[in-house]
A and B are shown apart, each in its own frame.
Chain A
């Protein structure tokens, strides 16, 4: 079960939108709608931002949105704010009762 592929870094200015990609395969992202996204600030535990491709847990701002096309899932952060600067990880169910994470993307707010 290979890790999902994310760009190591992404950036944007306050108020702008940025999209982070997460590429898997037809065995994970492409097959199942169990893609989730996590935000992790330095030294802190991760926080769930998106589950089941595009659903937001209560309390997560609607500036965060998720989508999927084929084997690639995406997280879009609109109206960037300083506090959005963090590491972001995607995850997908990979079949066979396995779950796989992406390598993470460091989002910098310029």
Chain B
């Protein structure tokens, strides 16, 4: 079945770095754009970044631009989010999500992982 499994979350000190991974299965990973979306404790959803199906296009929310880097390895069916200069306000559950559209980014996510928790605290 179609599945996304995130990993790599944990507790990290402010200013440090962390890399999240998202392993995809059950669909042709290389055909779809992929997103990262986060949810701070008790708060709503916040879109973080998106990468095109072939990795050639990457876009970020203003709140993470210059600090986070989205990437993918289509040979490993894996999506990544490299996070640096982490701040307390980055504390959240991070979800990876599959774009619903084949090819060009459609900005709707039809498959979500279970999420991985990132806590930024000293």
Chain A residues with CB under 8 Å of chain B are 1, 3, 34, 36, 38, 40, 45-48, 51-52, 57, 89, 91-93, 97-104
Once the chains bind, are A47 and B107 in contact (CB under 8 Å)?
Answer: no
Residues of A with C-beta under 8 A to B100: 48, 51, 57
**B13 → chain A, closest Cβ, in Å?**
27
A49 to B26, CA, bound (A): 21
Query: DSSP class of A's interface residues: helix, strand, loop or mixed?
Result: strand
Given contacts A36-B107, A45-B112, 15 further A-B contacts (CB under 8 A): A34-B106, A34-B108, A46-B95, A47-B112, A48-B108, A51-B100, A51-B110, A52-B106, A57-B110, A91-B107, A91-B108, A98-B62, A99-B35, A103-B44, A104-B44
Once the chains bind, are B44 and A99 in contact (CB under 8 Å)?
Answer: no
Looking at B35, B44, B47, B114, which has the most chain A CB atoms within 10 Å of its CB? B44
